[in-house]
Amino acid sequence: MRPEGRLGGVLIMTFAIAYFIVGLSMPRSSLGDPLGARAFPLVLGGLLALLGLSLAVAPVKVGGGAAGSGRPSMKAAALAVLLCVYGYTLPLAGYLVGTILFIGITAYLLGERSWRLLIGLSAGVSVGVYLLFTQVLDIPLPAGLLEFMKG
Amino acid sequence: MEIMEHLAYGFGIALQPINVLYAFIGCLVGTLIGVLPGLGPTATLAMLIPLVFSMPPATALILLTSVYYGSMYGGSTTSILVNIPGESASVITCLDGNKMALQGRAGPALAIAAIGSFIAGTFAVLVLTLVGAPVAGYALHFGPAEFFALMVFGLSTVASLTGTNVVKSVITTCFGLMIATVGIDLVSGAPRYTFGNPFLQDGIDFVVVAIGMFAFTEVIVTAIEVREGTRAEIIKAERIWLSWEEFKYSVPSISRGTVFGFLVGMLPGAGATLSTFIAYNLEKRICKHPERLGTGDIRGVACPEAANNAASGASLVPLLTLGLPGGGATAVMLGALMMLDITPGPLLFQKHGAMVWALIASMYVGNALLLILNWPLVNVFARVMSVPAKYLMPIVLVISTIGVWSLSYSSVDLLLAAGAGMLGYYLRRNKYPIEPLILGLILGGRMEQAYRQALIISKGSNFIFFTKPISLTLLVGAVLFLFLPTLLAKAKQFQSARAASEGAA
């Protein structure tokens, strides 16, 4: 049995208690609204705390072998960080610049080493998605660094 | 006949060239993505939702349902040709389907899967046509107390039937309901869990969480598994036709699969996976020559495929009439509907009648399109499987990211989605099911409103839920469902269905 079951239960309980405490500061019932804004969160927080407790006391056995059983690697962590950076810098860098870099780096991380393919893939997909969103679906994408080209 | 008039009107909309085109694109894209291992109907739908906002509601719905249908069908193709089910509902199809392919009978297997799906799908839509409006009419008498009880019932069935452990399912349901409480409280106007951040005042969009939990998580899992990268060999289908004898031999199995699939599919939470297992096992007990099943018998493909499609059709009955989705994919559809400003439920047939009938009509069209499209192209689709993950995953990431971005053009949404992806990865790794979370998030707001309205009516007394017969029945049912897995733990098909949805989820 992996220890995450017990640890997970404690984490869940801590989260639920925090959620409950924040909920306490919410307004009580008012006229025509016998429950008020805090009732539902308090019920949920209490319920989840109990469930977390039950998991911490009697953890469920977690068998290995099925989906996602591989060890979390640096690669996955790098991917998650990259995703955040991409998302956060999207308005600044602009869609095309950001996406070409992002696809290139992701494909490199996942094992592609041919520069020709990397550049072709990232440029091709970026332009394709750009055309799909701006031309077919009418969803504007941030121009960012390429703002000056709009004229 | 009033229904015929409505249906004719629906066909008028569904057969407009633009809608047929979108149904065609939906079936095509759905099948292509369904063929890819890992990306099941739920992830596909979550990824595509932001793309449909600029479309008219009827067209958007038609596109989403045809994608749903297509991805279900794509999953069976890979079961047969590669012995890798595209999603959990086609696990059973591997048993006989892949054996048939190994014996050089991939063509008939794929053909009967297409025909069985078509027959079952059409039957399910037919029943939806007939019972949809009456069920919705009955539910019109529901007050807030009944609706609250109904949602509790829905959440509890989904929690009880997905995943491996009820406690874990209820925990993720709670998470979903908690995420739903973020934002301005609609009754009192008080901000809740916004921490002074103006972006959080509107609440957390379910699409953000769904894309993070399904699409991003999938990419992370794939990134970890990519080095194992063993791809099975694809068996090419030579003859794509099937003989009249084979068809006649399969018809009884198709009809049984259809009926069982439909009945199981109506139940919220049971969904397509469980229906295939139950149908296959019942088939084994009922049919002649049960010993042939499992050795490459065509009925072993026909029956679960029919059950699978009948169940997907059936799960639209509670979705459209009661606003209660049956599982992950229909929960995402419900969210999409709500984002298009259409709230499924009893009022749907009255308020958006034209659109509902267009949707129902388009399901007939979609069934036919799938049959025409997939049969001849089956070898082409199978080849999509061999696109390496290192090219595919960056594309999935970009489309999902831009989809999230286009919701409100804010980086906060993107960070939330990335956070949801990481939480989703943790949950998946530790065998917490994600579907109940999404469902809780989608139903949370409405559930709280119903609860509070009911208590306003009863002047603060909780007894209102126990004094109304419908709500009492539903609440008792909800509690019973939570104990169902303990009772069913010994049933073999229930266990294997669970193992399958766990493995392929």
Instruction: Render pLDDT for B468-497 as a digit per residue (tens, 0 to 9).
Output: 888 898 899 888 888 877 776 666 666 666
Whether residue B459 and residue A34 make contact (CB cut-off 8 A), yes or no, is yes
d(CA A78, CA A80): 5
In this complex, which of B168, B190, B398 lies closest to A37 when CB atoms are compared?
Answer: B190
Tell me: pLDDT of A69 over 60. no
Whether residue A129 and residue B398 make contact (CB cut-off 8 A), yes or no, is yes
Which pLDDT score, from 0 to 100, does residue A32 have? 64
d(CA B444, CA B464): 20
d(CA A101, CA A96): 9
Top residue of B429, B455, B501 to mutate, by most chain A CBs within 10 Å, is: B429
Confidence of residue A151 (pLDDT cuts 50, 70, 90): very low
**How many other C-beta atoms lie within 10 A of the C-beta of residue B410?**
14
Tell me: pLDDT of B191 over 80. yes
| B chain contacts of residue A129, beta-carbon cutoff 8 Å | 395, 398-399, 402
Question: Hey, which residues does B191 pair with through a beta bridge?
Answer: B184
Nearest CA distance, B296 vs chain A (angstrom): 26
Higher pLDDT, B18 or B222: B18
Q: Which residues contact A134 (CB under 8 A, 6 or more apart)?
A: A140, A141
Which pLDDT score, from 0 to 100, does residue B379 have? 67
First and final CA of chain A: distance in angstroms?
62
Both tokens assigned to A78? 């790098």
Whether residue B418 and residue A84 make contact (CB cut-off 8 A), yes or no, is yes
Which pLDDT score, from 0 to 100, does residue A65 have? 41
The arithmetic mean of pLDDT across residues A20-49, rounded, is 81
Torsion angle, alpha carbons of B108, B112, B113, B119, to 10: 160
Residue bearing tokens 């049971």: B270
Residue bearing tokens 């072993």: B300
Question: What is the DSSP code string of A60-114?
Answer: PP---SSTT-SPPPHHHHHHHHHHHHHHHHHHHH-HHHHHHHHHHHHHHHTT---
Residue of A nearest to B398 (CA): A99
**In chain B, positions 367-396, which contact chain A (CB-CB < 8 Å)?**
389-391, 393-395
Question: Hey, which residues does A84 pair with through a beta bridge?
Answer: none
Tell me: pLDDT of B37 over 70. no
Q: Which residues contact B217 (CB under 8 A, 6 or more apart)?
A: B421, B424, B425, B428, B434
Whether residue A107 and residue B428 make contact (CB cut-off 8 A), yes or no, is no
d(CA B224, CA B208): 23
Whether residue B393 and residue A91 make contact (CB cut-off 8 A), yes or no, is no
pLDDT digits (tens, 9 = 90+) for B420-435: 888 888 888 888 888 8
CB-neighbour burial class of residue B342 (10 A; exposed 0-12, middle 13-18, buried 19+): buried
Tell me: pLDDT of B104 over 80. no
The arithmetic mean of pLDDT across residues A71-79, rounded, is 71
Nearest CA distance, A151 vs chain B (angstrom): 22
Q: Which residues contact B236 (CB under 8 A, 6 or more apart)?
A: B81, B106, B379, B382
CB burial of B361-389 (b: ≥16 within 10 Å; e: otherwise) equals bbbbbbbebbbebbbeebbebbebbeeeb
Which pLDDT score, from 0 to 100, does residue B429 have? 81
Phi, psi of A70 (to 5 degrees): -65, 155
Whether residue A103 and residue B398 make contact (CB cut-off 8 A), yes or no, is yes
**Is residue B208 within 8 Å of residue B404, measured between CB atoms?**
yes
pLDDT digits (tens, 9 = 90+) for B201-221: 888 888 888 888 888 887 777
d(CA B7, CA A148): 53
Helices (H) and strands (E) in chain A, counts: 5, 0
d(CA B95, CA B112): 15
d(CA B155, CA B322): 13
Question: Hey, which residues does A30 pair with through a beta bridge?
Answer: A33
CA-closest candidate to residue B414, choices B396, B434, B394, B397: B397
Whether residue B223 and residue A138 make contact (CB cut-off 8 A), yes or no, is no
d(CA B164, CA B136): 33
Which pLDDT score, from 0 to 100, does residue B383 have? 66
Confidence of residue A68 (pLDDT cuts 50, 70, 90): very low
**In chain B, positions 298-337, which contact chain A (CB-CB < 8 Å)?**
none
| A chain contacts of residue B505, beta-carbon cutoff 8 Å | 67
Question: Hey, which residues does B156 pair with through a beta bridge?
Answer: none
Phi, psi of A53 (to 5 degrees): -60, -45
Both tokens assigned to B64? 């989403």
Question: Hey, which residues does B183 pair with through a beta bridge?
Answer: B192
Residue bearing tokens 């991939």: B106
Q: Which residues contact A54 (CB under 8 A, 6 or more apart)?
A: A9, B167
Whether residue A48 and residue B178 make contact (CB cut-off 8 A), yes or no, is yes
Whether residue A109 and residue B223 make contact (CB cut-off 8 A), yes or no, is yes
Higher pLDDT, B211 or B37: B211
Nearest CA distance, A93 vs chain B (angstrom): 13
Confidence of residue B178 (pLDDT cuts 50, 70, 90): very high
| B chain contacts of residue A138, beta-carbon cutoff 8 Å | 54
Lowest model confidence (mean pLDDT) among A48-52, B21-25, B391-395: B391-395
The residue type found at B200 is L
Interface residue B246 vs chain A (CB under 8 A): no
**Is residue B30 within 8 Å of residue B44, measured between CB atoms?**
yes
Top residue of A13, A15, A22, A33 to mutate, by most chain B CBs within 10 Å, is: A33
Which pLDDT score, from 0 to 100, does residue A125 have? 84
Nearest CA distance, B385 vs chain A (angstrom): 17
**Percent of chain B whose pLDDT exceeds 70:** 88
The helix or strand, by DSSP H or E, that contains position B394, with its residue range, turns out to be helix B389-408
Top residue of B155, B162, B188, B207 to mutate, by most chain A CBs within 10 Å, is: B188
Q: For chain B, what is the mean pLDDT?
A: 80
Crossing angle for the helix pair B328-339 and B57-82, to the nearest 10 degrees: 160
The arithmetic mean of pLDDT across residues B370-380, rounded, is 74
Cα radius of gyration (chain B): 22
In this complex, which of A37, A72, A141 lies closest to B402 when CB atoms are compared?
Answer: A141
**Is residue B400 within 8 Å of residue B47, measured between CB atoms?**
yes
Confidence of residue B504 (pLDDT cuts 50, 70, 90): very low
d(CA B363, CA B320): 13
Helix, strand, or coil (residue B54): coil
Residues in chain A: 151
Top residue of B148, B165, B174, B451 to mutate, by most chain A CBs within 10 Å, is: B174
Nearest CA distance, B172 vs chain A (angstrom): 9
Angle at B81 between CA B79 and CA B84, to 5 degrees: 35
| B chain contacts of residue A10, beta-carbon cutoff 8 Å | none
DSSP code, position B295: S
Nearest CA distance, B190 vs chain A (angstrom): 7
Q: Which residues contact B195 (CB under 8 A, 6 or more apart)?
A: none
Lowest model confidence (mean pLDDT) among B100-104, B301-305, B354-358, B380-384: B380-384
d(CA B272, CA B308): 5
Which pLDDT score, from 0 to 100, does residue B291 have? 76
Nearest CA distance, A104 vs chain B (angstrom): 8
pLDDT digits (tens, 9 = 90+) for B331-370: 888 888 888 888 777 777 777 777 888 888 888 888 888 8
d(CA B338, CA B196): 27
**Is residue B315 within 8 Å of residue B262, measured between CB atoms?**
no
**In chain B, positions 36-75, which contact chain A (CB-CB < 8 Å)?**
50-51, 54
Confidence of residue B459 (pLDDT cuts 50, 70, 90): confident
Whether residue B171 and residue A55 make contact (CB cut-off 8 A), yes or no, is yes
Higher pLDDT, B184 or A27: B184
Residue bearing tokens 């409280």: B185
Tell me: pLDDT of A126 over 50. yes
CB-neighbour burial class of residue B256 (10 A; exposed 0-12, middle 13-18, buried 19+): buried
Whether residue B224 and residue A5 make contact (CB cut-off 8 A), yes or no, is no
Q: Which residues contact B251 (CB under 8 A, 6 or more apart)?
A: none
The arithmetic mean of pLDDT across residues B60-83, rounded, is 81
Helix, strand, or coil (residue B186): coil
CB-neighbour burial class of residue A111 (10 A; exposed 0-12, middle 13-18, buried 19+): middle
**Is residue B224 within 8 Å of residue A76, measured between CB atoms?**
yes
Residue of A nearest to B193 (CA): A22
**In chain B, positions 428-447, which contact chain A (CB-CB < 8 Å)?**
428-431
Residue bearing tokens 């449909």: B52
Phi, psi of B431 (to 5 degrees): 65, 35
Top residue of B395, B461, B465 to mutate, by most chain A CBs within 10 Å, is: B395
